[in-house]
Amino acid sequence: MKLAVYPGSFDPVTNGHLDIVKRGARVFDKVVVAVLHNAQKSPLFSVEERKELIGEVTRDMGNVEVDSFDGLLVDYVRRKKADVIIRGLRAVSDFEYELQFASMMRKLDPDVETLFMMTNNQYSFLSSGIVKEVASGGGDVKGLVPAAVEEALSRKYGY
């Protein structure tokens, strides 16, 4: 069985993330969406809230699992016995960072591959940060995030 891990903070999960999850689920037998717990950041949503939201929007995908981790991604990937790390690319500007990331993963564990997937062009500008910025100002995020995330943002920002 080919198992892939799609790691990220997903604060919040966007339609761009979901695009990568759906496409990854067509390529691999199983995709684990792994929510990073990063103590150095102050996320809008807790790890549990992010896991719940991702679980809700991927519920109909039978080969998608939602999990969380802290520490080194390579250690998590080894524990899961995954073959591949999925990384989404929005634009050329993402490539330099992602190349460094993939090179470090290769150094830490040469048996784990990193697969880059280009996000659908309609989401090439989209990031969780932009979504939070728009939502915090009361802007419309419809079409940028799944409906469940749109509702959760509305509750967080009180509108």
Helix (H, G, I), strand (E, B) or coil at 44: coil
User: Is 90 annotated among the ligand-binding residues?
Assistant: yes
Concerning whether 90 is annotated as a catalytic residue, the answer is: yes
Q: Which of 22, 30, 90, 156 is catalytic?
A: 90
User: Is 98 annotated among the ligand-binding residues?
Assistant: yes
Q: Where are the alpha helices (DSSP H) in 30-91?
A: 47-57, 73-80
Q: Which of 50, 51, 128, 132 is catalytic?
A: 128
What gap in Å lies between CA 117 and CA 58, rounded to an integer?
A: 18
Q: Which of 26, 41, 107, 142 is catalytic?
A: 41
User: Is 50 annotated among the ligand-binding residues?
Assistant: no
User: Is 126 annotated among the ligand-binding residues?
Assistant: yes
User: Is 101 annotated among the ligand-binding residues?
Assistant: no
User: Is 51 annotated among the ligand-binding residues?
Assistant: no
Structure tokens at 63: 């080969």
User: Is 116 annotated among the ligand-binding residues?
Assistant: no
Structure tokens at 72: 């080194």
Concerning whether 17 is annotated as a catalytic residue, the answer is: yes
Q: Which residues are catalytic?
A: 17, 41, 90, 128
Residues in binding site: 9-10, 17, 41, 73, 87-90, 98, 123-129
Residues in binding site for ATP: 9-10, 17, 88-90, 98, 123-129
Residues in binding site for substrate: 9, 41, 73, 87
